[in-house]
C-alpha cells in the first residue's frame, strides 16, 4: 500500500495564518454586523505604484502581439531584471554580486521553504525563536527535525535561539555546532534588527563552524536607522557562508503579484560542490520561471520614479507603525519593533497567553493580530500587529484598544 510522508503528520494541523483566518471567518459569520480590523497577516493594502502598473500594461500589450509575445522565460529570471537587481540593490551599496548569482522566483516563502532541499537531512538546523513558521515547517516536512515534544513545544533535532526582551532580541550564538542557520532581519515577527557588529558575529560563527546562513531580508526596505545592514553581504566574507532572500512583496506591494529573488554566491561551496550550481539545477527541474509581465513589473521598481513611489508607500506604512507603537505605549503596553520593520511586537497583559489575548482582542475590540506563540515557544506572552492596514483602520484599531 502507498505510504505517505509521515513527517507531515508532525506538523501542526494548519499553517498559522490559515488557523487565524478560519477563526476570524467563524467569528464574522456569527457576528455579521461587526467591523473587524485585520492587522494579522502581513499583507499590503495600498495599490501597486503607477510606474509599475504602467510596466504591467506595456508588458501585457507585448504578450498580445506575435512579434513581442514571450513563452517560457529563463528559469533563473530574465537578464533585464537580474542586471537591475545587481545594480540597484547591491552595487549602489558597494556590494559586488554577479547577475548569475541572482535567481528570480515567485516568493521568498517558496525560496526559504525550498532551499533546505539542497542539504542532507542529517544536518542540524538552528532557528531563532520566535520565527517565521516556513523555515521550521519546511524542515519538518523534509524529516530533519526529529520528534516533537508537546511539553516544550520543540523539536528534538532543532536548536532554538530565543530572541526576547531579556536579550534585547539579539539571539545568542548556538553553543553547539549547527549546520544550517536561519536569520531574518529586520525580523519577522519581532520587528527588531541587528546592527553590523551583531551580524558580523554570525558570519564569523558560520565560517568557524562550516555552517551556512539563510538570510531573509524581505523587510530591508523598511530600515530607517543607520548601521543596520540591508544585506548580509555588507559583512565581509558573508559570500562564502550565506544565501540571501529578498522579496518585492513588502518592498513594492507584490503580495498578489508574486516576485522575489535568492542570491546564491559562486563562492558558496560545501566541500567542492557549488551551491549556485545546485540551486540552478533545482530551479531548472522544478520551476519554469516567473511570468514575463511580473518581471517587467519588478523591473519598473528600479527606476527613479518607481523608487520614489514605492518609498512613499513604505513611508505610509511606517507612519502606521508609529501610530500603533505610540498609541500602545500611551495605553501602557510595552512595545518593540516598528522602527525598522512594519511589525509591532507587544507584551500581552500579565497572566494571559498570546492566544487568550488574540481571542479577547477579536471578541471585544474586533481586531485581529497574530499570537506570538504561533511563531514559537519564546513568542508566548507576545503579540504581533502589522502596519500594513489602511490609515483609517489603523487609527480606529488603536482608538478601540485605548478605550
By the criterion CB under 6 A, which residues form the site for ligand MLT?
41-43, 109, 132, 188
State which residue, 109 or 230, has the beta carbon closest to ligand MLT: 109
State which residue, 132 or 222, has the beta carbon closest to ligand MLT: 132
- Size of the chain, expressed as the number of residues it contains: 403
Residue nearest to ligand MLT (CB): 42
Q: How far is the CB of 41 from ligand MLT (least distance, A)?
A: 4
State which residue, 95 or 344, has the beta carbon closest to ligand MLT: 344
Residues 290 and 74: their CA atoms lie apart, in Å, by 9
Q: How far is the CB of 109 from ligand MLT (least distance, A)?
A: 4
Torsion angle, alpha carbons of 277, 280, 282, 284, to 10? -140
State which residue, 292 or 358, has the beta carbon closest to ligand MLT: 358
Q: How far is the CB of 249 from ligand MLT (least distance, A)?
A: 6
State which residue, 187 or 211, has the beta carbon closest to ligand MLT: 187
Q: How far is the CB of 343 from ligand MLT (least distance, A)?
A: 8
Torsion angle, alpha carbons of 110, 112, 115, 121, to 10? -110
State which residue, 205 or 375, has the beta carbon closest to ligand MLT: 375
Q: How far is the CB of 43 from ligand MLT (least distance, A)?
A: 6
Is 54 in contact with 62 (CB distance < 8 Å)? no
Q: How far is the CB of 218 from ligand MLT (least distance, A)?
A: 7
Residue whose C-alpha cell reads 526576547 in the numeric block: 164
Is 374 in contact with 42 (CB distance < 8 Å)? no
- Give bridge partners of residue 260 from the DSSP assignment: 105, 247
Q: Are strands 158-162 and 125-129 parallel, antiparallel or unpaired?
A: parallel
Reduced to 3 states (helix: H, G, I; strand: E, B; else coil), residue 290 is: coil
Contacts of 222 (CB under 8 A, 6+ apart): 186, 250, 314, 317, 318, 340, 341, 342
Q: Is the peptide bond before 112 cis (omega within 30 degrees of 0)?
A: no
Contacts of 273 (CB under 8 A, 6+ apart): none
Q: How far is the CB of 168 from ligand MLT (least distance, A)?
A: 22
Q: How far is the CB of 331 from ligand MLT (least distance, A)?
A: 24
State which residue, 265 or 374, has the beta carbon closest to ligand MLT: 374
State which residue, 75 or 111, has the beta carbon closest to ligand MLT: 111
State which residue, 43 or 396, has the beta carbon closest to ligand MLT: 43
**Grid cell locating 130:** 520566535
DSSP string, 306-369: HHHHHHHHHHHHHHHHHHHHHHHHHTT--EEE-SSSSEEEEEPPTT--HHHHHHHIIIII-EE-
**Grid cell locating 16:** 498559522
Q: How far is the CB of 78 from ligand MLT (least distance, A)?
A: 24
Backbone angles phi and psi of 27, in degrees to 5: -65, -45
Amino acid at each position: 500500500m502507498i505510504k505517505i510522508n509521515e513527517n507531515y503528520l508532525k506538523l501542526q494541523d494548519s499553517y498559522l495564518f490559515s488557523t487565524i483566518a478560519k477563526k476570524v471567518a467563524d467569528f464574522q459569520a456569527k457576528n455579521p454586523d461587526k467591523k473587524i480590523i485585520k492587522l494579522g497577516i502581513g499583507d499590503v493594502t495600498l495599490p501597486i505604484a503607477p510606474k509599475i502598473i504602467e510596466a504591467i500594461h506595456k508588458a501585457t500589450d507585448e504578450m498580445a502581439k506575435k512579434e513581442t509575445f514571450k513563452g517560457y522565460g529563463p528559469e533563473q529570471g530574465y537578464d533585464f531584471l537580474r542586471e537591475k537587481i545587481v545594480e540597484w540593490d547591491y552595487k549602489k551599496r558597494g556590494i559586488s554580486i554577479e547577475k548569475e548569482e541572482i535567481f528570480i522566483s515567485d516568493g521568498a516563502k517558496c525560496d526559504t521553504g525550498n532551499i533546505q532541499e539542497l542539504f542532507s537531512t542529517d544536518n542540524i538546523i538552528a532557528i531563532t525563536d520566535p520565527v517565521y513558521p516556513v523555515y521550521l515547517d519546511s524542515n519538518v516536512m523534509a524529516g530533519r527535525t526529529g520528534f516533537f515534544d508537546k511539553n516544550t513545544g520543540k523539536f528534538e533535532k532543532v536548536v532554538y535561539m530565543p530572541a526576547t526582551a531579556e536579550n534585547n532580541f539579539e539571539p545568542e550564538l548556538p553553543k553547539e555546532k549547527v549546520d544550517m542557520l536561519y536569520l531574518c532581519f529586520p525580523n519577522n515577527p519581532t520587528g527588531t534588527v541587528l546592527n553590523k557588529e551583531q551580524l558580523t558575529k554570525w558570519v564569523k560563527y558560520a565560517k568557524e563552524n562550516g555552517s551556512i546562513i539563510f538570510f531573509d531580508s524581505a523587510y530591508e526596505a523598511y530600515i530607517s536607522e543607520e548601521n543596520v545592514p540591508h544585506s548580509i553581504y555588507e559583512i565581509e566574507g558573508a559570500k562564502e557562508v550565506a544565501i540571501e532572500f529578498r522579496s518585492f512583496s513588502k518592498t513594492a506591494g507584490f503580495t498578489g503579484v508574486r516576485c522575489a529573488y535568492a542570491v546564491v554566491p559562486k563562492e558558496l561551496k560545501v566541500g567542492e560542490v557549488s551551491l549556485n550550481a545546485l540551486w540552478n539545477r533545482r530551479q531548472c527541474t522544478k520551476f519554469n520561471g516567473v511570468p514575463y509581465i511580473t518581471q517587467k513589473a519588478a523591473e519598473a521598481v528600479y527606476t527613479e520614479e518607481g523608487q520614489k513611489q514605492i518609498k512613499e508607500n513604505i513611508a505610509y506604512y511606517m507612519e502606521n507603525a508609529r501610530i500603533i507603537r505610540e498609541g500602545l505605549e500611551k495605553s501602557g503596553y510595552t512595545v518593540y519593533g516598528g522602527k525598522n520593520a512594519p511589525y509591532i511586537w507587544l507584551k500581552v497583559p500579565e497572566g494571559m497567553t498570546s492566544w487568550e489575548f488574540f481571542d479577547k482582542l477579536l471578541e471585544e475590540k474586533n481586531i485581529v493580530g497574530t499570537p506570538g506563540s504561533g511563531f514559537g515557544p519564546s513568542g508566548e506572552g507576545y503579540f504581533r500587529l502589522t502596519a500594513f492596514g489602511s490609515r483609517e483602520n489603523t487609527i480606529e484599531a488603536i482608538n478601540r484598544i485605548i478605550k
